[in-house]
């Protein structure tokens, strides 16, 4: 998990015990420091106890947050006592920050309900949320209405909240690359650049003719090309792959990565067939796999929304993501499905991976033009699936989100593959078909659906079908 900075607002209301605020603030700061989270917050020198309980306090808090707006990824509101709901709402509104917000309240104890120890945070949290709703400020809630900081559930809540913050930050002014024209037969991956742009997500394009043209100017002994070839050979075993295929992969990788770096792109979608095979003599899967493995997600068939789905899952998990086809039933099991792609899965998710030739496409372009596909099986693990799609008629982004697991169920086939188990899979497939989603789905090897849901539904306002068991 990369370092996160939170703006901390400590709520207070004067006729509730001050000592609870002082103790609660210190306890929360110790917890956040232990988690490795940087904090921007008022000090006792700025306001009473470093808390917010008036409009003046709210202004001071807002100004502090403005000063650090370039580094604050989210806001944590904590209520050691009832708190001042207007002060909290005003501080957030005046700061101008549009980041995820988590509302936390300390719990009371039934044997400490006297005037000196009674918090009433349970009630105060309702009031704070009421005001945020009135101010049209979205926010997130902890698993339980009141929670102790040492509670494992609260620690889990902070973990997923940090991931939500990362997704929102990473999508701000995200840049995607589309290389080549959409593969002719694949209407399914059509999308709207304008809808994405309205969400501050840009798409840069590169024609394959430009890629081939730049490659033609590279010498076979170019130092940077030779370095790429070395990287490919060290990435995973490649028995039987001819040297001329490595040379082509090295040149292709160098030109693509150069363009990605020059344009500061976060993810890429590529026309992977059949122009590259017919006119350049490789499949690009291994190059795509390596880039995904190095945290530049690569999607097949110019599937820009697939690439964006991969990028979101990567932001949430801090690990490489992949894109797969919902490809086959698994015998008569209604809750299992075979995942497949020709060979672009990142090494991170695979076991016993090697580079070979792409068996399906070799039937039409020849084996000699089909080297460069990564073959192997997806490791058994927890999985989160995500699919985004632009609904061009209604001008919105739609999505579905689901958790499952990949298994070690027996399967003998080729390419990149795996078996996934998902509860109520048939209902999910009905939803996908009835709502016109693509056959591609992005996946990552961890459970991050709650963080992703909070980010894209609550803070971005995108339509989400959350498939739960």
Selection from 421, 426, 176 nearest residue 309 by Cα: 176
Phi, psi of 353 (to 5 degrees): -85, 145
Question: Do residues 444 and 321 lie in contact, with contact meaning Cβ atoms separated by under 8 Å?
Answer: yes
Pairing of strands 416-421, 333-341: antiparallel
Domains of the chain, start order: 5-171 (3.40.50.10940), 175-467 (3.20.14)
- Helices 85-95 + 55-67 axis angle, to 10: 30
Distance, CA of 177 to CA of 202 (rounded, Å): 9
DSSP assignment string, 242-267: -HHHHHHHHHHHHHHHHHHHHTT-SE
Number of Cβ atoms within 10 Å of the Cβ of 123: 14
Selection from 127, 128, 144 nearest residue 77 by Cα: 128
Residue-by-residue pLDDT tens, the chain, 469 positions: 568 999 999 999 977 888 999 999 999 999 999 999 999 999 999 999 999 999 999 999 999 999 999 999 999 999 999 999 999 999 999 999 999 999 999 999 887 777 778 899 999 999 999 999 999 999 999 999 999 999 899 999 999 999 999 999 999 999 999 999 988 888 999 999 999 999 999 999 999 999 999 999 999 999 999 999 999 999 999 999 999 999 999 999 999 999 999 999 999 999 998 899 999 999 999 999 999 999 999 999 999 999 999 999 999 999 999 999 999 999 999 999 999 998 999 999 999 999 999 998 998 899 999 999 999 999 999 999 999 999 999 999 999 999 999 999 999 999 999 999 999 999 999 999 999 999 999 999 999 999 999 999 999 999 999 998 6
Selection from 200, 154, 202, 455 nearest residue 315 by Cα: 455
H/E run at residue 348: none
pLDDT tens by residue, 188-226: 999 999 999 999 999 999 999 999 999 999 999 999 999
Distance, CA of 337 to CA of 340 (rounded, Å): 10
What the block records as the tokens of 342 is 């020709």
Distance, CA of 422 to CA of 385 (rounded, Å): 10
Chain centre distance of CA 146: 28
What the block records as the tokens of 459 is 């803070």
What the block records as the tokens of 360 is 């399906």
Taking CA 355 as the corner, what is the angle to CA 352 and CA 361, rounded to the nearest 5 degrees? 120
Question: Do residues 304 and 182 lie in contact, with contact meaning Cβ atoms separated by under 8 Å?
Answer: no
Number of Cβ atoms within 10 Å of the Cβ of 387: 23
Phi, psi of 71 (to 5 degrees): -120, -10
pLDDT of 2: 67
Residues 6+ apart with CB under 8 A from 92: 9, 62, 75, 101, 132, 135, 137
Residues 6+ apart with CB under 8 A from 72: 5, 6, 7, 40, 65, 97, 99
Distance, CA of 374 to CA of 238 (rounded, Å): 9
pLDDT tens by residue, 122-149: 999 999 999 999 999 999 999 999 999 9
H/E run at residue 205: strand 202-206
What the block records as the tokens of 291 is 């880039």
For residues 405-415, one letter each, b for 16 or more C-beta atoms within 10 angstroms of the residue's C-beta and e for the rest, the string is ebbeeeeeeeb
Selection from 346, 349, 361, 388 nearest residue 167 by Cα: 388
Prior bond of 274 cis (ω within 30°): yes
Distance, CA of 345 to CA of 460 (rounded, Å): 28
Phi, psi of 34 (to 5 degrees): -65, -30
Look-up of token digits 């929360």:
28
Distance, CA of 244 to CA of 408 (rounded, Å): 36
């Amino acid at each position: 998990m990369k370092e996160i900075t939170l703006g901390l607002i400590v709520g207070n209301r004067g006729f509730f015990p001050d000592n609870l605020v002082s103790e609660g603030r210190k306890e929360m700061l110790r917890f956040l420091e232990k988690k490795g989270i940087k904090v921007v917050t008022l000090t006792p020198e700025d306001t009473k106890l470093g808390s917010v309980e008036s409009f003046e306090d709210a202004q001071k808090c807002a100004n502090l947050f403005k000063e650090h707006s370039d580094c604050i990824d989210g806001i944590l509101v904590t209520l050691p006592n009832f708190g001042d709901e207007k002060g909290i709402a005003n501080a957030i509104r005046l700061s101008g920050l549009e980041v995820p917000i988590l509302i936390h309240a300390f719990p009371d104890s039934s044997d400490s309900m006297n005037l000196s120890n009674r918090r009433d945070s349970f009630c105060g949290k309702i009031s704070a949320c009421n005001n945020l709703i009135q101010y049209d400020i979205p926010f997130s809630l902890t698993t339980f209405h009141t929670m102790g900081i040492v509670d494992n559930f609260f620690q889990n809540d902070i973990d997923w909240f940090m991931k939500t913050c990362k997704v929102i930050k990473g999508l701000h002014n995200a840049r995607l690359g589309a290389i080549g024209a959409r593969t002719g037969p694949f209407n399914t991956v059509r999308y709207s650049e304008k809808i994405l742009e309205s969400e501050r997500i840009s798409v840069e394009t590169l024609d394959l003719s430009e890629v081939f043209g730049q490659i033609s100017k590279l010498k076979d002994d170019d130092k940077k090309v030779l370095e790429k070839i070395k990287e490919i050979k060290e990435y995973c075993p490649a028995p039987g792959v001819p040297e001329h295929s490595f040379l082509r992969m090295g040149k292709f990788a160098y030109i693509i990565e150069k363009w990605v770096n020059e344009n500061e792109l976060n993810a890429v979608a590529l026309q992977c067939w059949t122009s590259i095979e017919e006119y350049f003599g490789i499949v690009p899967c291994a190059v795509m796999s390596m880039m995904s493995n190095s945290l530049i997600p690569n999607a097949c068939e110019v599937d820009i929304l697939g690439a964006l789905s991969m990028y979101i899952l990567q932001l949430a998990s801090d690990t490489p993501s992949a894109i797969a086809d919902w490809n086959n039933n698994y015998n008569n099991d209604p809750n299992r499905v075979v995942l497949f792609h020709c060979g672009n899965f990142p090494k991170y998710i695979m076991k016993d991976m090697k580079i070979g030739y792409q068996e399906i496409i070799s039937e039409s372009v020849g084996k000699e033009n089909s080297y460069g596909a990564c073959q192997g099986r997806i490791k058994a693990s927890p999985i989160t699936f995500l699919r985004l799609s632009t609904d061009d008629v209604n001008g919105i982004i739609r999505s579905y989100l689901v958790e499952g697991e990949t298994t070690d169920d027996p399967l003998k086939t080729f390419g990149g593959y795996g078996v996934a188990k998902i509860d109520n899979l048939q209902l999910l497939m009905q939803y996908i078909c009835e709502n016109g989603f693509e056959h591609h789905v992005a996946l990552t090897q961890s459970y991050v659906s709650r963080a992703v849901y909070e980010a894209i539904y609550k803070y971005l306002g995108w339509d989400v079908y959350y498939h739960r068991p």
